[in-house]
Amino acid sequence: MDSDRRDCHLNMLSKMAMCKSHGQDSSYFIGWQEYEKNPYHPIQNPSGIIQMGLAENQLSFDLLESWLTRNQDVIQFRENGGSMFRDLALFQDYHGLQAFKNVLVSFMGEIRRRKVKFDPEKLVLTAGSTSANETLIFCLAEPGEALLLPTPYYPGFDRDLKWRTGAEIVPIHCYSSNNFRITESALEDAYEEAQRLNLRVKGVFITNPSNPLGTTMSRDELNNLITFAMAKNIHIVSDEIYAGTVFDSPKFISIMEALIDRKHEKSKMWSQVHIVSSLSKDLGLPGFRIGMIYSNNETLIAAATKMSSFGLISSQTQYLLSKILGDKKFIKRYIKENKKGLKKRREMLVSGLENSGIECLKSNAGLFCFVDMRHLLNSNTFEAEMELWRKILLSDVGLNVSPGSSCHCSEPGWFKICFANIAEETLDLAMQRINDFVSSMNLQRRQLIAAASASSSRRRTLANWVVKLSSGEGKTYR
């Protein structure tokens, strides 16, 4: 009876409500769920799971908190001796305070070394980059049309780009042999695969700097991508939410900078390239939900602006952040100190893993490293990767890291590990746990090898005796 009642309720829901393509069953999300059941705390739960699957930047909160302490009027919504509370509590421009848009484009230009000048009239504000990405796909693709994405990519894109839009993702397979760079042949192979599947390709979607690789795209890669998109007459979406986290060479090159260098300002491609940006990673404020779409396509901007009505940013949030971003001296210092902190933290992670015999892909940006654990697999399969992941997450180590398969990596044995969301002491503990785990694995392997060697030696000894006996050696005659 209960089953019948449940089925009846389910039949009354929409297809969207029952859709299974959200991606919640991905190991990426499962890891979060396991962490939430047993979160590490240095005192209350020292044996709990350490969260290293969260790309969150907590390294520069002291700078932001110090600024807020010095600017109490901003927190209290006071300006020129009067209160701004009533103005901010009432309806403002639905689609963004002009002062906020002005400082946002200035900030975008600052972290791109002033190589690109952004126009606030070409900016759409959304409640986070998740909303920005989905809004863009609604504008670019019909249900059943496809976007090409280089692998590995952020697991959440399966939700953000596909779930409600009905769009499809066709992977551009990249490999460790060239540090997962996007090649011309990989682009062509993905396009041909989409055609084989009878999918119309509407664009290429990149993340630069890359999540999960922590690398920036080279000028040659960007030029190849632009040439490819022009030849196919498709769009390019460049998710650049990690642009402000580039802490080492080579320097970050925005897709817009690459277009300008090619003198494409008056070409058709100028209106077919779109940027997604955010304050979640660069400023470390994911809870404030600030996402942005930037495009030279007037029709797309008009459509995206209308769609953004379903995910607005509060006026109070915009007011506060406009004051922070408007302090140019502070922002320059923040960017510099934040990058310094990220570089130091990455070096800590890389050094700690090297002590355990584990290497990382060389990276220069982001809040994470792509870690090579292929030598720890029992076999070169994704099943073996998941077995290792379960040991790291649950049974042996207690770390939530993201397996490469959740990022659609084409090779088993890679893991994404985040380093900017935990304290240094917690990172040290995580490295000690990994070291203990690897040492234990190596000991077990040596014991297995020794046991196998001893068994083989016994078999050889027995075989030698059999040979001797069969040849008459060692016989005693009475």
CB-based contact 363:215 (threshold 8 Å): yes
Q: Which of 28, 40, 154, 319 is catalytic?
A: 154
Pull the structure tokens for residue 89. Answer: 């509590």
Residue 241 annotated among the catalytic residues of the structure: yes
**Which residues sit opposite 157 in a β-bridge?**
none
Pull the structure tokens for residue 50. Answer: 């350490």
Q: Which of 101, 122, 162, 281 is catalytic?
A: 281
Give Cβ neighbours of residue 364 (< 8 Å, ≥ 6 apart): 209, 214, 215, 216, 246, 247, 248, 249, 250
Whole-number Cα distances in Å, 188 to 3, 165, 177: 49, 25, 19
Q: Which of 35, 111, 234, 239 is catalytic?
A: 239
* Closest of 273, 317, 303 to residue 135, by C-alpha: 303
One-letter amino acid for residue 180 of the chain: F
CB-based contact 339:247 (threshold 8 Å): yes
Pull the structure tokens for residue 433. Answer: 């746990």
**Which residues sit opposite 402 in a β-bridge?**
416
Helix (H) or strand (E) holding 125: strand 123-126
* Closest of 58, 154, 51, 53 to residue 420, by C-alpha: 58
* Closest of 163, 128, 336, 143 to residue 239, by C-alpha: 128
d(CA 392, CA 141): 39
| Beta-strand pair 368-372/359-360 | antiparallel
The interaxial angle of helices 219-232 and 184-196, nearest 10 deg, is 30
Q: Which of 111, 206, 241, 293 is catalytic?
A: 241
CB-based contact 201:234 (threshold 8 Å): yes
Say how many CA atoms lie within 13 Å of 338 toward its Cβ. Answer: 27
* Closest of 101, 109, 103, 106 to residue 256, by C-alpha: 109
Burial environment of residue 157 by CB neighbours within 10 A (0 to 12, 13 to 18, 19 or more): buried
d(CA 213, CA 53): 14
Residue 220 annotated among the catalytic residues of the structure: no
Q: What is the 3-state secondary structure (H, E, C) of 304-352?
A: HHHHHHHCCCCHHHHHHHHHHHHCHHHHHHHHHHHHHHHHHHHHHHHHH
Pull the structure tokens for residue 119. Answer: 């126009």
Residue 239 annotated among the catalytic residues of the structure: yes
Residue 416 annotated among the catalytic residues of the structure: no
Which amino acids are annotated catalytic?
154, 239, 241, 281
